[in-house]
Structure 1
Amino acid sequence: MDWKSIAFDWNRARAVVATAEAGSLSAAARALGMTQPTLGRQVTAFEEDLGVTLFTRAGKRMELTEAGLSLIDHLRGMAEAAHAAALAASGQSQEIAGVVTVTASNLYASALLPPILARIREEAPALRIQVIATNAIRDLMRREADIAIRHVRPDQPDLTARLVAEDEAALYATPELLARGPLGTLPFVGYGLEDTYRGMLAERGLDVPPENFAFLSEDSHVQLALARAGLGVAAMPTWMGDPDPALVRAQPDAPPLVTFPIWLAAHRDLHTSRRVRLVFDRLAEGLGRIGRAT
């Protein structure tokens, strides 16, 4: 390899790739955690290093020129190689210390993870665990998280996944609300305006009209609060609804409204790291206790 021919700065090349991916300097700067002026200087410096113009400015948009289009695939290849090297290096770490990032839904992150993380802390006090609580799917391939708790099996070939349990949900309400009339005539707490939830209820013999969904929220904690206040019937995991003293099952003799899997996923390279392996295994043990362990 002619090393002398590689005279540009990788950080500047990274700035170009990020700008091309994001479409603007401001978005790229946020993605890289730097200021927009700094990023702009790196892009300009890279263009000067190569002696070509890579972008045209169209308002706030940054559009690749013909020269930029001819080079961007090569630069993306460099970015992917650098990313793969970082993953491999991280996976080789055998020290049970450092940071492990776990992503889970808001409900799991707040209600289920704390006792599991407490046990991990006792076993490996040098570990630092970053919890990303979000209902969005985080991208393990881009290192947005080391471990993800998901309800669908990941299908990317570079991920390793384990089915750790089957969770289940049922309908809950206050006894006072249930005493007001047949279940199908009562107000319900919904997830959104879509008909998926109503269809699920219909499969269980409950034809709940749209107007009965007086309260809507994507947040499970809000749904719980609304149900506890007697404002509606809500679907929630049995491990959350059954112990709640203010609630009872709306259909005590019926099977669960729905069952859903709990998957743990991690990048294969990261899964060879002792710290990631430890957190992965302890999460599997802890989450396996909440439902029907597989």
Structure 2
Amino acid sequence: MRIDWKAVDFDWNHARAFLATAELGSLSAAAKALNSSQPTLSRQVNALEKQLKVALFERVGKGLELTPSGVELAECVKSMGNAATHLSLTASGKSESLEGAVCISASENMAAYELPAIISKLRRLEPKITIEIVASNASSDLKRREADIAIRSYRPEQLDLIAKKIRDDHFYLYAAHAYLNSIASPKTLSDLNCAYFIGPPDFQQIISMLNQRGLSLTTENFPVTTSNYTVYWELVKQGAGVGFIQEHLVKPTDNVEKVLPELGDFPIQLWLVTHRELRTNTRIQYVFEFLSKELSSYR
């Protein structure tokens, strides 16, 4: 049964609940994503089905699967959402005032150790600009306005994003003096194969990267993991193992040292990213250029 689109005049909240459920495959996952409750989303989806007089989902096991009418509606609602996002970006992109809010997305490392001093300086210069910092190691979706500006460790591939390379960050292996003494201060690559490392939850890439430098590490070398960089750095300083740390963040009082400096650095690029339409916004442009200058010279 096809939907008569000329007769459709539904609540956007119902449509949003439907699309989230369709994309995530369950009401519980959709409720979590929308910061709502499962009963609320269920009522909204049921109301939409009743209004359209079609079934949008079929239950398959513990999940939900779209019916043909549901597939048709999902494409329509997705197009509506993209259009609304585009309209919002275009409208905000025409703002000429420096007064207002700017949302900056950055890794936990950047948000904790570099941005506070930079944002404090920005606020002194432009007190009418308010800043929200989204500290997350996951990438924010700039097109959906999850952030106005993102600081990332990779160059984006989307053509409608503007990206500027800021610098190369240099990571080295560091460990606490006490930990290195406990494993007889490794002097060769083979000595380091017996060390414990601190990694992110998915550390296979790190194993591959280190083994390409001549080590022979396995998953047993990574008994401690965390996705939080502040916790990561504290674990290194407290002697839980060897970790990757940016050279310019290390202070003499941290009681850590480079491990086998002959391994060299592990460079990671730093990029500043914004949406091309937001780039014409005076406020966003000002903050973008300010961050570019401050991050380029940060030490």
TM-score range, shorter chain: 0.7 to 0.9
Matched, 1:228 2:232: no
Q: In 2, Cα distance between the equivalents of 1:204 and 1:61?
A: 45
Counting only pairs closer than 5 Å after superposition, residues 11-160 of structure 1 correspond to structure 2 as: 11-58=13-60, 61-160=63-162
Matches within 5 A, 1:160-175: 160-175=162-177
Q: Which amino acid aligns with 2:159?
A: P
- 5+ residue gaps, structure 1, are none
Which shows bigger deviation, 135-144 or 145-154?
Answer: 135-144
Q: Give the 5 Å matches for 1:260-271.
A: 260-271=268-279
Letter in 1 for 2:86: A
Instruction: Work out whether residues 220 and 236 of structure 1, in 8 Å CA contact, stay in contact via their aligned partners in 2.
Output: no
User: Which AA in structure 1 matches 2:288?
Assistant: F
- Provide TM-score, normalisation by structure 2: 0.81
The DSSP-based 3-state class of the residue aligned with 2:197 is strand
* C-alpha contact (below 8 Å) 1:150/1:263 kept by paired residues: yes
Deviation string 1:97-154 (CA, Å, 9 cap, x unpaired) is 3332222111111001100111121122233322222222222222222221111100
Deviations 1:207-259 (A, max 9, x none): 5676555644444333433332344333210011255441233345x474211
CA contact (8 A) 1:168 1:257 kept: yes
C-alpha deviation, 1:194, in angstroms: 4.1
Q: Deviations over 1:154-200 (max 9, x none)?
A: 00111111001111012323445556333342534331574543444
TM-score w.r.t. the length of structure 1 is: 0.82
Equivalent of residue 255 in structure 2, options 243, 246, 252: 246
Partner Cα separation in structure 1 for residue 287 and residue 130 of structure 2 = 11
- Sort the Cα spacing of 1:71 and 1:116 in 2 relative to 1 into closer, same or farther, 3 A: same
Report the number of matched residues. 288
Distance 1:242 1:200 in 2: 26
User: What one-letter code is carried by the residue in structure 1 that aligns with 2:186?
Assistant: P
Check if 1:272 corresponds to 2:277. no
Q: 1:183-262 residue pairs with structure 2 within 5 A? A: 183=187, 184=189, 185=191, 187-191=195-199, 194-204=203-213, 213=222, 215-251=224-260, 254=262, 256-262=264-270
What is the SS of the residue equivalent to 1:135? Answer: coil
Q: CA deviation at 1:8?
A: 3.2
